[in-house]
Structure 1
Amino acid sequence: MNLKIPKLIKIALNNTFIKNGIEILKINADVIIFFIILCIKLINYGKSISPEYFSTTVITPIIASLLLLFSFSFLLKNKKRIRYLFIIDILISALILADLVYYRYYTDIITISSIGNAKLLGGVKDAIASLVKVSDFFYLIDIIVFIPIFKIYYKKVDVKVQSLVARIITFFMIFTVGTVVEAKTFKKVSIEQPTLLTAMSDRIYLTKMIGNLNFHMVDLFNFSNTKIKNSKKLSASEENQVKSYLKSKTTKTNQFTGIGNGKNLIMIQVEALQNFVINAKINGKEITPNLNKWVNKSAYFDNYFYQVAGGNTSDAEFMSLNSLYPAQSGAAYYTYCGNTLNSLPKELNANGYYTAALHGYAEGYWNRNVMYNTEGFNDFFGQSKYDRNENVGLGLSDKSFLNQSFDELQKFKQPYFSFLITLSSHYPFNDVKGYENGMDTLDVGSYKNTLFGNYLEGIHYTDKQLGDFLDKLESSGIADNSIIVLYGDHFAIPKQNINDLYKFEGSSSSDDLAWYQYQKVPLLIHFPKDKNKGTNHTYACQMDLLPTITNMFDLKNDYMFGKDIFSTGNRKVTFRNGSFTDANVFYVSWTNTYYDIKTGSKVNETPKLKSLKENSSNELKYSDELLNHNLIKSWIKK
C-alpha cells in the first residue's frame, strides 16, 4: 500500500491537466500577482474611507472592474504586457492616494469637476503635506519592489508565450465575465437608488456600492456626457430667445420693493419639511407647535411647491439662490459648479452684505465645498467648523447646529445674509435621540415604527429646535432688523409610502392629482415686528423665492425664471419633468393628462392649455441652454 503512493503521486504529476495548469500559472504569473495586489489596495482603501459600512458585497464590483482592465493585458506579449500592468498599477495607486488625501480634507471622493475647478477648492493645496501619512506609501511600495523582481523572473524563468488565438480567447472570456458582473452591479444600484448614478448625490455611499474604480468611471461618463451636450454652440437667434424670455419675466415694483434694504436676511432651508404637518395634529397634539406659532406671525404660503429633480436638497438650494431650473439629469451642484451665476449671495455681496452658508454636515456632500464658492458666499461653515457634540440622524443634531449657528450669527458684521440648512429630519427619520433629552414625545399611534410615524416624530424634534432658534432671534433683537425666510426643501414621504399620508389626511383619492397636491412645502417670510403676517394661497414654487427676495432687497437680477410671490397676475408652476399647474388645472406629464383642481376630474386639452404646456417646455429648454452654455458669463462680459 505504502509503495503505491509515490507511484500515484508520480502519475498525478505527469497528468497533462496539472502540467498545463502549472504552465498557465507560470505564463500569467505577472497578471495574477498584479491583480491580487490591486485587489488588496482597493479593498484596503474602501476600509479606510468607511470602516463602519464597508462590507464584502463591494468586493465583487472591485474584482469585476479589475477584470475588465486586466483582460486587455492578455492581448499583449512580454515587455508590452508588463509595461501595461505597471501603468495600471501606477495609475490606480495614484488615484487611491488622491482620493485618500481628498477624503481626509473633505470627507468625500474626488471628482473630475472638483479637479477642473481646483481654483475653487480654497486652501486644500496648502493642507496636502499635512494630510499625507507614512502609511500611504504602502500603495506605492509594490511598484518599486516589482521592477527588479520581474526583470529577474523573465530572465531566470522560461516563460512561453501563448498563441494569439489563445490570448484572444482568454481576453474575451475575462472581459465577458467582468462585463456581466458590472452590468448586474449597476442594475442593482439603479433599482435601489434610481438617481444615484447620475446625480452622484452621496459619493461615498456610491463608492461603497460599486467600488472606487467604477465610481470614477461613472464620474467620467457623467462629466463627458455633459461636455458633449454643451459642445454645440447656440446660434445668435437661439441665445436671443433665451434672453428675451428672461426679460419678459422681470419683476415689477410693488409694495414690498426695497422693504429689506439694510436689514439682515436669514434664510433657513429645512430638511424634508412638508406642508401637511403645519397646523396638523395627531392624537390631539400639534406636530409642529413652534412653526405653527411662527406661521401666525409671518407671511405664510400654503401652496408653495418644491421642484427638485435628481439633486434633491441641493436642487432646492440651487433654485432658491438662482431661480434657475435643476439639471435635466444629475445634480446642478455638480454639473454647473464651474458656471458663472448671478446668485443671491453675489448680489448681496455687491450691496455691502457679508454672506455665509451654514450646514453641520460634510463640506463635500452635494459638492457644497465647490458650489458655495461658485454661488459667491464669503464663508461656508461646514461640519469641520462645528463641535460635533451630539448626533441625530445623519450627523450633527439640529439642536446643536442651530445653537452653534446662533452664536456665529451674533458675531457677523451687519448687514449679513446667513443661509442655514438643517439635517436631523433627513430620511429615514429613525433617530429620535432628542426625546431622550427631556423633549416632549409625540404619540403617533398606529403609525409607530413606520416610515410615516418616524417622520412625524423626526419633524416634531426639528420643530422644537427651530422654535428655540427663532425665539432666540426674537429675544436677542436680531429679528427686529432681519427678514427671516424659512421653507422646506423637498418631499419627506416617498410615493411608495404615500398611502399612510392619504390615510392620515383622510383622502379618498389616490390619483396623480392627489399625489401632486401633497408635493407642497411651507414657506414663511417673517418681517420685523410681525408685519405683513397672514396666510397667502397664491400658487408659487421654489423658483419664485429669489425674485421675491431681490425685489424686497432692491437687488438687480435679470436672469430669473421665477416670479415675485407678492406680484399679481397669472402664475404658473413648472416642474422639471414638464408637469405644471396654473392653480386651476394640473397637467401631469408622464400620463399627458389634465386635471381640474377644484373638481378633481380629467379635462380635455384646449388651445390655452396646449400653449401653457408649450410655454413650460420652452422654459425648461431655455434654462438648460442658459446653464449648458454658461450664457450668464458671456452676458455679464457684454
Structure 2
Amino acid sequence: MRNLIKKLKNFLLDNLDIVLFVIIIPMKLIKFDRLIYPEYTHYKLIIKPILSSTICALSIAVIFKNKIRTRILYILDIVISILVIVDTVYFRYFKDIISIGVIKNGVMLGGVKSSVTSLISPYDFLYLIDVVLLIPFLFFYRRHKRYELKLIFRFALFFILVIPAGYVNGKTIYKMSVSQPNLLKTMYNKVYINKFLGTLDFHVLDLYNVTENKISNSKRLSKDTENTIKNALNKNEANAPSSMTGLYKGKNLIMIQVEALQQFVINSKVENQEITPNLNRWINKSLYFNNFFYQVSSGNTSDAEFLANNSFYPAASGAAYYLYAGNTYSSLAKEMNDNNYYTAVLHGYKEGFWNRNVMYKAEKFKDFFGEKSFNINENVGLGLSDKSFLNQSFNKLKSFSSPYYSFIITLSSHYPYDDTKGYGDFNVGDYEGTLLGNYLKGIHYTDAQLGTFLDKLEKSGIMDNSVVILYGDHYAIPKDKINDLYDFENIKNPTDLDWYELQKVPMLIHFPKDQYKGINSEYSGQIDLYPTIANMFNLPQNYMLGTDLFASKNRNVIFRNGSFTDGNVFYVSWTNTYYDIKTGSVIPESTKLKQEKDNALTQLEYSDNTLNHNLIKKFTVKQKK
C-alpha cells in the first residue's frame, strides 16, 4: 500500500503542471461564460466543449519534454487569461465577443483611451492571479526530477488525448451546425456560439473562418451568383415611385449623425426636466420615425456612417471602414457628385480615426473637414466640443455653393460621458454618479448645441432650401449597465425583446417650411436612409440593400447578428427565439417566420459577397461597356 501511495504521489508530482492546467483553465472559461450568460446555469452542456478544448491545447504540450511542456502550459495559461480579459472588456461595451477582424482594427480604438480604460475593472485581473502565484512553484518545480517519457510514448499520449477530445468538440460543433445552419460559417452570432462552445473553441473557429474566407474570397463567384446579387441590389424597379419622388432634386442635404443618441431620451424627463427639449421641439416640426433602429456592428460610429451612405450591412467581423476602404462604391456622395452637388464631411476628431481619411475618398466625398480644419478652442469629452464644432460647421456651410450634401458627425456625447464641463448642473437625481446619469447630462448638453445649430440654419434661411436629416448612430448604455436603463424605463423582469426595443435611435427629416411634419411608425433602420434620400433627390438606386421609407411597406429590419423584426415579430438570434411585439410573449417558429429568418441571412450574405468581392466595381465596369 505504501508503495502504491508513493508511486501515486510521484505520478502526481511528475504531472502536477498538467493537473493544474486542466483545473485552472476550465474554471476561467466557465467564469467568462457566466458573464455573458448569467442566467445560463446548465453546465453539463458547456463543460464538455470547455474541457475538450482545454485537453486539445494540453495535447500539444505533452509532445515535448517535461520542462518544455511546463513552460508551454504556463505560456498557454497567460495567453488564455489575457484573451479572457480582452473578451470580458470587449463584451462590456459591445455586447459581443472579440474577433480577429476587430483585433485588426485595434489600432483605431487606441484613440479612445478613456473609453477603454473605463471598461476595465480591477477584478478582471483576477484571471491572472494564478499566473503570479505559480512563479515560485515553477522555480521549485524545475528542480524536481521527473520521469521522462520517450518520444514515441509522448506522441501516443498526444493521440490518446486529442482523439476523444476532438471527437467531443466535433460532435458539439456538428449539433450546432444542424440546429443553426450557416451560423458557424457566417459567425453572425458570436455570443450564441461562445455560449455553447466556450471561448477557446470560438476563437479557433474564428481563426479558421478568417483563413477559409480569405481562401474562398480569392475564388471567383459564379456568374449566376453575381447576377442574383446584382438583381437584389437594383432597387430602381423594386421601389415604386412615391409622393416624395424627385421633390427635392436640387435642394441641399444636411445629414447630422449624433453620437450615442438613443430614442429613450426623446420626450423624456428626469427630475421634471426635459432631457432633450430642443430635439423634442424640432421633432414637432419634422417627420419623425419612432421605430428606427441602429444596425451597427463592431465598427460602431463608422458602421452607422457606412450604412447611411452606402446601404450595405457592416462587416461580419471588424469594421467595413478598415476592411473595404479599397472598394468601389455607388455611395450617396458619389451619386450626389454626379448630379453636380458639392459633397463634404465635417467631424471634429482625428482624420485617421476609423480610417475615415481613406474611406471618404473611396466614397467620393470631395472634402473632409476633420480635426485639422477646425480651431480646437474648447474640448468636451474626446475632443472638440459640440458647441464649438457646430458653430464652426455653420460658418463652413454658409460658404458652400449650393446644391451641396454635408455630412456632419458630432462627438461630445461619446462614451464614457465623464466630462461634465458645461452641463454638470443638469440634475439627474438618483442617477447622479452613474453611467446613465452622466449620459443624460452629456446628451442634454449635445441637445442644447443641436438646438442652437438648427435654429441658426432656420434663421439664416438655409433651411428654406435644404432637407435636414438627423439620427443617432448607436446605443449609449452598454449591456453591463442596462439595469439602470431598465429602472429608468420602469421595465420589470426584462426580456431580450425589451433590450432590442431600447435599441431604437431617433431619426427625423425636416423639410423646408416644416412640410410633412408628423410621425411615421414603420419599422426601419439606418440601411434605409440612402434609398429614401435617393428617391427624394431623384438619384439612381442601383446598388443598395435598404428600401425607400416612402415607397416600401412591411420591410424587415435586419441586424448583423441575424436578428430581425418585421414590425410584428422580433426574432432574437442569440436565443433563437421569436417574440410577438404587441404582447411580448414568445411564439413558435412558423413556415413564414423561418422564411424570413432565412431571408435575413441571405441579405447579409449578399452584402458580404458584394463587399468581399468588390462586386460594385465589376458591375459598373460592365455597365460602361
* TM-score of the aligned structures, taking structure 1 as reference length: 0.68
2:551 aligns with: 567
User: 1:202 offset after TM fit, Å?
Assistant: 5.1
Name the counterpart of 1:360. Answer: 348
Q: CA deviation at 1:251?
A: 2.2
Q: CA deviation at 1:462?
A: 0.3
Q: Is 1:544–2:525 an aligned residue pair?
A: no
Q: 1:222 to 1:593 in 2, by over 3 A?
A: closer
Kept after mapping to 1: 8 A contact 2:234/2:541: no
Aligned residue type for 2:349: Y
Is the alpha carbon distance of 1:578 and 1:602 closer, same or farther for their aligned partners in structure 2, counting shifts above 3 Å? Answer: same
**Percentage of pairs with the same residue:** 59
Conserved? CA contact 1:580–1:616, under 8 Å? yes
Unaligned runs of 5+ in 1: 1-167, 211-219
| TM-superposition CA deviations, 1:320-349 (whole Å, max 9, x none) | 000001101111111111111110000000
Q: CA deviation at 1:597?
A: 0.6
Do residues 199 (structure 1) and 123 (structure 2) align? Answer: no
* Equivalent residue in structure 1 for 2:335, among 332, 347, 353: 347
Distance 1:204 1:171 in 2: 37
* Residue among 474, 479, 484 paired with 2:463: 479
The match for 1:314 is: 302
Contact 2:263 2:506 in 1 (8 A): yes
Amino acid at match of 1:244: N
Listed one character per residue, the Cα deviations across residues 420-470 of structure 1 (whole Å, up to 9, x for unaligned) are: 11010011111111237xxxx321100000011111000000000000111
Contact 1:196 / 1:202 at 8 angstroms: preserved in 2? no
8 Å CA contact retained: 1:310, 1:330? yes
- Secondary structure of 2:246 counterpart: coil
Aligned length: 459
- Taking a change above 3 Å as real, the CA distance of residues 259 and 455 of structure 1, as seen in their structure-2 partners, is same
Shift of 1:188: 2.3
Once residues 576 and 334 of structure 1 are traced to their aligned partners in structure 2, the CA distance between those partners, rounded to angstroms, is 17
Aligned to 1:215: none
Inter-partner Cα distance in structure 1 for 2:80 and 2:459: 58
Match of residue 408, structure 2, among 411, 420, 430: 420
8 Å CA contact 2:253–2:404 kept in 1: the answer is: yes
Shift of 1:601: 0.7
Structure number with larger C-alpha Rg: 1
Q: Distance in 2 between matches of 1:403 and 1:202?
A: 32
Residue 586 of structure 2 corresponds to which residue in structure 1? Answer: 602
Query: What SS does the corresponding residue of 1:590 show, helix, strand or coil?
Result: helix
State whether residues 341 and 375 of structure 1, in contact with CA within 8 Å, keep that contact through their aligned partners in structure 2. yes
What is the correspondence of 1:19-168 to structure 2 with a 5 Å cutoff? none
How far off its partner does 1:221 sit? 11
Structure 1, residues 245-271: CA drift from partner, whole Å, max 9, x if none?
223673221111112111110000000
Matches within 5 A, 1:614-629: 614-629=598-613
Q: Is the 8 A contact 1:226 1:335 kept in 2?
A: no
**Structure 1 equivalent of residue 167 of structure 2:** none
The CA distance in 2 between the partners of 1:305 and 1:423, in whole Å, is 20
Match of 1:446 among 420, 430, 440: 430
Q: Which position in structure 1 is the counterpart of 2:32?
A: none
- Matched to 1:401, the amino acid is F
CA contact (8 A) 1:363 1:382 kept: yes
Find out whether 1:247 has 2:151 as its counterpart. no
Coordinate RMSD, CA, aligned: 2.5
Structure 1 residue 500 and structure 2 residue 500: aligned?
no
Residues 395-441 of structure 1 show CA distances to partners (whole Å, capped at 9, x for unaligned) of 111111111111111111111111011010011111111237xxxx3
In structure 2, give the amino acid aligned to 1:486: L
**Residues 138-186 of structure 1: CA deviation (Å, up to 9, x unaligned):** xxxxxxxxxxxxxxxxxxxxxxxxxxxxxx9999998877665444434
- Structure 1 residues 455-534: aligned runs within 5 Å: 455-534=439-518
1:227-246 CA-partner distances (Å, limit 9, x unpaired): 43521221111112212222
Shift, 1:190, TM fit: 2.5
Unmatched runs of 5 consecutive residues or more in structure 2: 1-64, 91-96, 118-206
Contact 1:394 1:426 in 2 (8 A): yes
Q: Which residue of 1 aligns with 2:221?
A: 234
Determine the C-alpha separation between the residues in 1 that align with 2:606 and 2:441.
Answer: 41
CA contact (8 A) 2:562 2:601 kept: yes
Cα distance in 2, alignment partners of residues 550 and 276 from structure 1: 29
| In structure 2, distance between residues paired with 1:630 and 1:389 | 41
